[in-house]
Amino acid sequence: MSVQDLGVRTKEFSLRIVKLFSALPKSPEAQIIGKQMLRSGTSVGAHYREGKRARSKNEFASKIDAGLQELEETGYWIELLVDAGIVAENRLLGLLQEVDELTAILVTVSKSTKAQQFPLKKNNISKYHLRCDEKNLFVNFQFGHNISESSHSNFDKH
């Protein structure tokens, strides 16, 4: 995967959620679940964007953690769409994969910030690079001029 701005990626995720909601059946259960997914799924990028303007490391970590909570909730609603038979699982595998990858990235961002390994700068995490093998997801982050790598074992691919 090429280097990409996390703000762009979270915005693209939000747009995928909007498109999924627009394609859902108009049944009451699909619309109720879909609206929950729409609310939480579009909040991830908003929290990241707010975090980029944080005044402190604690505020930044708080925004990232809030984005993680919304991401977890979004994954739940997507799984519920599948489990309720509203949308076929094969149509949502890519979106579920993106939930997993964004979760791994944001967990690493949160932990790194909380550990105060790097000073908070105006554009804290500007770029990242993902690579994975059969058992691990590796995430490289660029913090200004510093680069950090994190590995997540037993990465569960949907």
CATH number of 42's domain? 1.20.1440.60
Give the pLDDT confidence score for residue 95 in this predicted structure. Answer: 97
* pLDDT level of residue 149 (50, 70, 90 thresholds): low
Strands (E), the chain: 125-132, 136-143, 146-153
Is residue 19 pLDDT above 70, yes or no? yes
pTM of structure: 0.72
Mean pLDDT of 11-33: 98
Mean pLDDT of 140-144: 57
Torsion sign across C-alpha atoms 55, 63, 12, 150: positive
How many beta carbons lie within 10 A of that of residue 90, not counting itself? Answer: 8
Angstrom distance (rounded) from CA 100 to CA 131: 13
Considering the domain boundaries, does residue 83 fall inside one? yes
Considering the domain boundaries, does residue 84 fall inside one? yes
Torsion sign across C-alpha atoms 84, 90, 92, 97: positive
Give the pLDDT confidence score for residue 5 in this predicted structure. Answer: 86
- What confidence tens digit (pLDDT) does each residue in 44-90 have? 999 999 998 999 888 999 999 999 999 999 999 999 999 999 999 99
Considering the domain boundaries, does residue 96 fall inside one? yes
Is residue 118 pLDDT above 60, yes or no? no
Tell me the residue range of the domain where 64 lies. Answer: 7-118
Angstrom distance (rounded) from CA 19 to CA 82: 16
Give the pLDDT confidence score for residue 113 in this predicted structure. Answer: 85
Closest Cα partner for 19 from 38, 39, 45? Answer: 38
Angstrom distance (rounded) from CA 89 to CA 97: 12
Give the pLDDT confidence score for residue 155 in this predicted structure. Answer: 43
Indicate the number of domains in the chain.
Answer: 1
